[in-house]
Every structure is written in C-alpha cells, then in structure tokens.
Amino acid sequence: MDAFEKVRPKLETQPQEEYEIINAEVKHGGFVYYQEGCCLVRSKDEEVLFNLEELKLDQPFIDSIRVAPDEKYVAAKIRTEDSEASTCIVVKLSDQPLLEASFPNVSSFEWVKDEEEEDVLFYTFQRNLRCHDVYRATFGDNKRNERFYTEKDPSYFVFLYLTKDSRFLTINIMNKTTSEVWLIDGLSPWDPPVLIQKRIHGVLYYVEHRDDELYILTNVGEPTEFKLMRTAADTPAIMNWDLFFTMKRNTKVVDMDMFKDHCVLFLKHSNLLYVNVIGLADDSVRSLKLPPWACGFIMDTNSDPKNCPFQLCSPIRPPKYYTYKFAEGKLFEETGHEDPITKTSRVLRLEAKSKDGKLVPMTIFHKTDSEDLQKKPLLVHVYGAYGMDLKMNFRPERRVLVDDGWILAYCHVRGGGELGLQWHADGRLTKKLHGLADLEACIKTLHGQGFSQPSLTALTAFSAGGVLVGALCNFNPDLLRAVTLEAPFLDVLNTMMDTTLPLTLEELEEWGNPSSDEKHKNYIKRYCPYQNIKPQHYPAIHITAYENDERVPLKGIVNYTEKLKEAIAEHAKNTGEGYQSPNIILDIQPGGNHVIEDSHKKITAQIKFLYEELGLDNTSVFENLKKYLKF
C-alpha cells in the first residue's frame, strides 16, 4: 500500500487509457527496494545500489528481489525480454554499496540467518530448463558457496519458498502430479533438512507455518481436490495431518496467504472469484464474492499483519487494488476514477455442453452498445493443459479490440485448472481429446447463441494451447476463418519421443510416454496436429516463433508449417482453378524466450493479420493501440 500511495497522484492525473507496469519491488524495514530505470535502488532518496548495465545485457530488468533479514545484503534476479536465462546478483549494503557476488542461471532464492547472525542465501540452479540443484552461500569474511541438495529424478523440478513468518525455508520437489517438501529450520539453516512426507504418486502438497503448526494445502484423500490440513511442526508426517478446511466442488485454489490470526484463500469457483478469510483463533470462515468483472488475482508482497492487499484484473481492464482489513472484517476497494470500460462493455459467463454432457465454462466480453452480434468479429482463446488457467491478465490490445467492436471469448476447457484438479485430470494423457471436444462445443455454442459466425471467427493460443487449436484446424476447420499462434506446441509425438529435449521427461505426466507405452503412442497419433495434417481447406494461420526457444523447439514449428503448406497446395491442385489458398505465415523472432507478451512488433503483426483475413477496416484500431503501447 505504501508503494501504491507513492504513485497514486500520477495514476489519478494521467488519462485513463494509459497504464504503467510496476516492476518487482519489496518492502523491508523502513525501505522499499525496486527498479528505477536501469538501476536497483533503495528509497527513501532513491539510493542507487547497482547499475544493471554493468552486466552488459540487452535491456535487462529485475524479476524479483530478496533482502537479507538484517538488511546487510540484497539479492536480485535479473533477466532480459528475449531470454529465460537469469543472473542473481548480491549487493552488500553499506555507505558505498558493493557487488558482493553474481550467480548465473538462478531460478528461486531466499535468505535465512543462522545461529551466528550470518546471512545465508539458498538458491536453485537451473540448467536446460531443469532445476535439480540447491546451493547455499555466505558472504563477507566467511565466504563460501556449496551444493546442498540434488534431485536425482529428472522428471521433478525444485524450487524454494520461505514461509510467511520466515520460520522455515521449504525445498519443494515437484512434477505435474506429485510433490515432496523438506523443511530447513530458519534458526538453524546448517542442520540437516526435515522431510515432511515422502513423495506419493498423485499426492500434491504445499506448506505454510504459524505458531508451531504446519498448514498444508493438499489433495490427499477423497475427493482428490485441494483441502487445507494442519499438524504440529514437530510431527509433520502425513498420518498426523488433520482436516481443517474443505473447498466446494468445482473450486480452483489460486493462492493462499498466512497471517498471525488469519488464513486467506484466493479461490475460483464456477468461473467466479472469491476470497475466503479463515479466523485461526475460532475457525470462523468468511467468504467474499468478488466483482463479476474480475477474472484474475495479482498477489502483492505484503508484510503488514493487519491487512491483506491484492489486485483484481481482467483481459480488458487494468488491475485495481483491494484490501481486506482484518480488524474491520471488511473488503475495501481503491477509490478514484472509475474505468469507463465498466460501462461500455459487458462480461458474460456462459456454458457449452460437450459431447459427453460436461458443461464447459466460457467468459465473454463485448461492447454494451453492440448491435447484431452475429455480424461482429469473434476472437476465441484457449489453453487446456497442465492444470493451468487460461491467462486472463490485462492486455491492452484486447481492450482495443473490444472498443473496436470485437467479441472476446475465453473457453475454459478440460486440461486446464479452472474447475480444480479433476478438471485437469479429465483433459490429460488419454483424455486429451476431451479438451478438443470442449473447444468445438464452445465455438458452436457461441455461434448458436448469436455471437458472430464462422467467417468472422478467429482462434488464438500460445504454447501448449497450440495442440487443441492445431487439432481443431485438422478436424473441423470450417468453424474458423483465421488463427494466430505464438510459440505453439504442434508436434506432440516426435517431441515426446525425444528424451534429449529439456522438458520431455518432465512432461510425461501430461502427454504420456509414447516411447514405452503403445497405448499412449496411438492415442497421441489421434490428435497430434502435425500427424493429422491432410489435403483439405484450412483457415488462414499466423504463427509467431522464437529462434532459440528451448521449450518449443523451432524445428517442430518449421516442419509443421512446411507440411501444412504442402497439404494446402495439394488440396488447391485437386480443387482446381478459382480456389483461394489460405495464407500461412511463419514469423520467426530473434531471441530465446518462450513468449514475449509485450512485443509491440508481434502485437501489431497479429492484429494486422486478423483484420486483413476477416476483411475488416483497421483505420481506427492502430490509432487506439498507440494510446496503450509506447511505439
């Protein structure tokens, strides 16, 4: 809240269509640490602690900041827009701040203080997108850096989390369906770690701490959805876990925050957002339904025990601050200028019935004064993998499209996580085709209820969302006029059979193992976009790929594009004169990042493609876009 008050005058006086992305910052003691220009600075006088230009990186930015308990050191993870590689710097805080150390390829990192009042930095080392090693380092006169833990199973990923009260550092070892957590005593970090519960296939759990008790968010037991359990910190094994709080059916746990006397759960239930405030003294529960326009949470780093601040956002509305005050037992929203989009647009929540009768939620946005929606362009979004929600954070280009008359539809198909863990389970491995059936049902329902028509419908996805989009283009291309894909996963079979790729072993729980399981292999062949290309009519397709993308290798995207063009050419030859072949565009961007959200060049190219393929006038859309993007 202090950080917000610092920029409030600027926010209240600037035009509403402008917005600012706040970089990583953290409050510790009486200071706020944040990025200003190309420097890591510390308030109150914007003291420069480190100039990022010393790293000789192209447009570096600070991804996250951690301050040592006694503020003797500050560590910051630094990245660039065109790479997933990161560098962790450690700066000694003194009259003349000094760069103490620099570690490459750091994923997560946290500080603790040992019995000798010495600051210890724990960090994980990432190599080829795999994170298996934990290190600990000290600085000053007693400088050392040693490997502390190595995970032997290549299908698991390791990350660090410091409990809210800083009492324990947790080592979290996870794959897509199973986890294991070790505790490092924040008062004795050199002691051997304590295992909470050995990994059990299919059991996920996360740990917080308060007053010598562990609060465990886990899916153990029936139903296999997340529930909150607790146990004494000195008896952490699973047989001692007591059920504390259960979620309603069709609920996704987005996050959990722990306070002195309260536990706050951030939830998505039946496609609407809620906050549950649990009183730990009396086990009371207060459930707050949040505004219907809200589609996502943005969590704030917070050290104030009296308040729980967070932000709400939607694809067409910039984030808005809210604070739950425990003493008053009320939720307060940021006051000031109300975004006009709340009056000029509508948000609808509908359901489509899939082939097997499952009801699939959709979130739809359009202008309130739109007439004859059947003649308006429609942009459909989908993901449906890894139990992850479809991204619904604010994107200025989506706001511009709605202002220009577009309908936006977000289809929360199986394989994603919007309705909980079972929703994911029903769309992975040999149930992947459920997600395709859901997507097809969503688009048909939209058309059937008067939202646009096939000739004005476009479909967009990134990364693993490309699997469902590519499959729909093969099996029912007449539902669409155009498609935009970014870093799409299109060759599932060949990728999952190549164990030399960085993520193949980690992804076996999602897609299956076609190398050793014939059932998995045959099932993947049924839906894999690359494997099912055939001579037929296809929608126009624009693909953005990244030259050095380690997650989705460029080779697979190029092979898909070439095979698709060959099939279209064969279809055109068989059809004869007069057939208009669709445009297939592969736009290869430099860099090694997986997805670059804020690339103005990419955004402009995709919007230009959509307007041209749907035969729309783009005169005003680019003028409006300039209000949001700094060209």
Q: Give the integer Cα–Cα distance in Å for 558 and 490.
A: 10
The β-bridge partners of 110 are 122
Is-cis flag, bond preceding 608, omega within 30? no
Is residue 426 annotated as part of the catalytic site, yes or no? no
Instruction: Name residue, tokens 């600037």.
Output: 14
**C-alpha dihedral, 111 to 48 to 56 to 501, nearest 10°:** 30
Of 447, 537, 594, 600, the active-site residue reads 594
Distance linking the first and last C-alpha atoms of the chain: 31
Of 82, 257, 404, 549, the active-site residue reads 549
Q: Give the integer Cα–Cα distance in Å for 207 and 241.
A: 12
458 φ, ψ (degrees, to nearest 5): -120, 150
The string of DSSP codes covering 164-210 is TTSSEEEEEEE-SS-EEEEEEETT-TTSPPEEEE---TT--EEEEEE
Q: Give the integer Cα–Cα distance in Å for 327 and 389.
A: 33
Is residue 549 annotated as part of the catalytic site, yes or no? yes
Q: How many residues comprise the chain?
A: 631
Is residue 354 annotated as part of the catalytic site, yes or no? no
Of 318, 557, 268, the closest CA to residue 418 belongs to 268
How big is the chain by its Cα radius of gyration, in Å?
A: 25
DSSP 106: E
Residue 387 host element (H or E)? none
Of 463, 491, 520, 542, the active-site residue reads 463
Of 123, 120, 141, the closest CA to residue 70 belongs to 120
Active site residues: 463, 549, 594
